[in-house]
Amino acid sequence: MKEKLEALKVEALEKLREVQDPQTLNDLRVKYLGKKGELTEVLRGMGSLSSEERPVIGQVANTVRSAIEEIIVSKQEAFQEQETLNRLQAEKVDVTLPGRRLPQGGIHPLNRVIQEIEDIFIGMGYRVAEGPEVETDYYNFEALNLPKNHPARDMQDSFYLTEELLMRTQTSPVQVRTMQAMQGEVPVKIICPGKVFRRDDDDATHSFQFHQIEGLVIGPNIRMSDLKGTLQQFVKEMFGPNTGIRLRPSFFPFTEPSVEVDVSCFKCGGHGCRLCKQTGWLEILGAGMVHPKVLEMGGYDPEKYSGFAFGMGAERIAMLKYGIDDIRNFYFNDIGFVKQFRGV
């Protein structure tokens, strides 16, 4: 019996060693180790052995079994490994081919700039206020200290609908509407973005429709130095920490004193470049202390309260910030143009 087992071992090991594929391996495993396999067959004869022989043969049988099992396992592992290798080889992709992207749209550059400015002022404690695009002559002009036939009305040629109604030429009417709605409450701190309209022939730097962003602050002791400080803080946030401002006297009917505000050119740092026309400064804002008549019309006593207001054009800021040279691009809405303004 022992010889039988040894012979089986020799035969099995030899066959197994030659195996080239998992199927044959499995067949051989069944052939030798299966329930009806040859090893089992041999062991079935154990019953006829003496009690002395049985453990000896049993031990031999176990050795044979483990020798066969060992080679099967090692063969299996080799095949597994090979299979994995084959699979990996077969599944290789060209990683340089493009991937499937997320759908991606974007926000219009003007709204992007407006939101950015809104957010800076929201961070400084301002609320966003809005008003209608069709305004009454009263809110657009009269309540802003521009009575009918005032020569300063020439500064803004308007689109009238009737004698009394027009497309707003500025976002300033929102100031008065807000003041009236606040009914004398202080502080007022608002930022008002929106479309405005002026009779301008469209060209690279003019558009009959454009966007303004206006700010208004009213309180018991608002100073011109506060206006300066506020704008200083804003331009640093908007254009970078090294940006400075310069104030020049100017005229707006609804502010007194009035100022024109330049920021130091953020392209060249004020040394002079094409963007700032070699001056080192960019004109971006009009501002001033709210005129007492405007305060009065808004329901605030100019002896008790004071305020400042400022306004800027979203197009102008976007053009400077993004290096856009033609204002009409904002309204052509060429996808190639508008999609450029995606980013952090």
Give, as ranges, the residues between 133 and 162 that touch other proteins (CB under 8 A).
Answer: 133-136, 148-152, 154-155, 159-162
Shortest spacing between CB 268 and other proteins, in angstroms: 21
The secondary element (H helix, E strand) that includes residue 61 is helix 53-90
| Sequence-distant contacts of 230-233: CB under 8 A, at least 24 apart | 230/124, 230/308, 230/310, 231/261, 231/285, 231/287, 231/310, 233/124
Residue among 234, 236, 232 nearest 246 (CA):
232
Binding residue (CB under 8 A) for other proteins from 250, 267, 296, 326: 250
Asked if 123 is part of the footprint of other proteins (rule: CB under 8 A), the reply reads yes
Give, as ranges, the residues between 171 and 190 that touch other proteins (CB under 8 A).
Answer: 187, 189
Residues that bind other proteins (rule: CB under 8 A) add up to a total of 87
DSSP 253: T
Asked if 130 is part of the footprint of other proteins (rule: CB under 8 A), the reply reads yes
Give, as ranges, the residues between 290 and 329 that touch other proteins (CB under 8 A).
Answer: 291-292, 306
Asked if 105 is part of the footprint of other proteins (rule: CB under 8 A), the reply reads yes
Q: For residue 129, which phi and psi values (nearest 5 degrees)?
A: -125, 145
Binding residue (CB under 8 A) for other proteins from 289, 297, 312, 324: 289
Binding residue (CB under 8 A) for other proteins from 251, 272, 273, 299: 251
> Alpha-carbon distance 146 to 153, whole Å?
7
> Alpha-carbon distance 117 to 112, whole Å?
9
Asked if 225 is part of the footprint of other proteins (rule: CB under 8 A), the reply reads yes
- Which lies closer to other proteins via its Cβ, residue 25 or residue 287? 287
Shortest spacing between CB 292 and other proteins, in angstroms: 6
Binding residue (CB under 8 A) for other proteins from 32, 141, 197, 254: 197
Which tokens in the block code for residue 304? Answer: 């008790």
- Expressed in angstroms, the distance from the first to the final Cα of the chain is 83
Asked if 115 is part of the footprint of other proteins (rule: CB under 8 A), the reply reads yes
Burial 237-246 (b: 16+ CB within 10 A, else e): bbbeeebbbe
- Unique residue bearing structure tokens 């592992």: 77
Give, as ranges, the residues between 65 and 94 that touch other proteins (CB under 8 A).
Answer: none
Give, as ranges, the residues between 259 and 278 that touch other proteins (CB under 8 A).
Answer: 259
Binding residue (CB under 8 A) for other proteins from 226, 237, 296, 326: 226
Which residues make beta-bridge pairs with 79? none
Stretch that binds other proteins, among 16-24, 35-43, 78-86, 241-249 (CB under 8 A): 241-249
